[in-house]
Amino acid sequence: MYTIVTGAAGFIGSNVIQALNERSVTRIVAVDNLKRAEKFRNLVDCEIADYLDKEVFLAQLLAGRFDGAVDAVLHQGACSDTMETDGHYMMENNFRYSAALLDWCQARKVPFLYASSAATYGGGRRFVEERACEAPLNVYGYSKFLFDQIVRSRLPVASAQIAGFRYFNVYGPREAHKGRMASVAFHHYRQFRGEGRVRLFAGCDGYADGEQKRDFVYVGDVARVNLFFLDHPEKSGIFNVGTGRAQSFNELAAANVNACRALAGQPAEPLAALLAQGFIEYVPFPRELEGKYQSFTQADLTKLRAAGYEAPFSGVEEGVASYVRWRAARGEPG
């Protein structure tokens, strides 16, 4: 029997595979699109049974190749570029492809775990898994929102587990291939190691400079949530996956700078001292992001905790320090 992981060479998918490998699970079919070939690096230290291009995989799946041979599908694959303007591509890639996998899994009673997104909430201030809280600001968020609506309609009559995860601002190892769409933590590290400073947006939406807040969640915690639901196929639903705590970009930047300083044996400094020394500076808020930017996110974890997931989530101080050490150990200076 195989475990299918889509988006396998991507950020979250490769971390899920690594977590499965740590359990000695290696009969994994890795599904992705390697037109951006550099993503292969995320799989070099992973053990898999096979790799298939995402279109080849879907064709073989629908042709019956995997009938009776799949334990679960962990669908992490998607276009996650929030600035993508090709709505046709976004909907085919994120919505139609996901719907085809869901139909296959339901017809064969195979657990289906998939990546949704906190982008479904848009610019709201309540982050609860309810229709009234959802108002996506871009076509990426809409593609995730629409698939969630399909899932909601299926849940009452589902033949097998369907679990969707609304990821908040995920950061951590194996995201370098994402380029400009990599996490803020990734860019902070590159800026500080390369230029000796971190740049943040000036204030917007009523927030002071650098005080916009997001729910930053470490990718290792995201992988653990996936494995928890894999262990509990009786649990279905759509769940927020974040820390439940909003932290400012100032806090994130300070954590990054101090983690880098620790590599050099230097002591941590408070935000005020880092600002005074020029390690953190503010740049004007981009006009192209006006009306499309989430200045505040904070996952409501009520449903996740009610489902029985009790493990703690790392704050940025712990998570960023771990991430910085991981990158430095691999010789990523900037």
Q: What is the pLDDT of residues 181-205, one digit of tens each?
A: 899 999 999 999 999 999 999 988 8
| Whether residue 39 lies in the annotated active site | no
Q: Which of 140, 171, 189, 218 is catalytic?
A: 140
Given a cut of 80, whether residue 290 has pLDDT beyond it is no
Q: Which of 178, 235, 292, 303 is catalytic?
A: 178
Given a cut of 80, whether residue 283 has pLDDT beyond it is yes
Q: How far is CA 326 from the centre of its chain?
A: 18
Q: What is the pLDDT of residues 240-263, one digit of tens each?
A: 999 999 999 999 999 999 999 999
DSSP letters, 234-291, are T--EEEEES-S--EEHHHHHHHHHHHHHHHTTPPP--HHHHHHTTSEEEEPPPGGGTT
Provide the pLDDT confidence category of residue 125 given band limits of 50, 70 and 90. Answer: confident
- Please give the pLDDT value at position 288: 82
- Please give the pLDDT value at position 36: 86
Q: What is the pLDDT of residues 3-45, one digit of tens each?
A: 999 999 999 999 999 999 999 999 999 999 998 889 999 999 9
Given a cut of 70, whether residue 208 has pLDDT beyond it is yes
Strands (E), the chain: 2-6, 28-32, 50-53, 70-75, 112-117, 162-167, 169-171, 198-201, 213-214, 216-218, 237-241, 247-248, 280-283
Closest CA to 242 of 171, 182, 320, 308: 171
- Amino acid identity of residue 70, one-letter, is V
Q: Give the relative orientation of helices 184-195 and 249-263 as an angle to the nearest 10 degrees.
A: 50
Given a cut of 60, whether residue 92 has pLDDT beyond it is yes
Q: What is the pLDDT of residues 66-86, one digit of tens each?
A: 999 999 999 999 876 666 667
| Whether residue 213 lies in the annotated active site | no
Q: Give the predicted TM-score (pTM) of the model.
A: 0.94
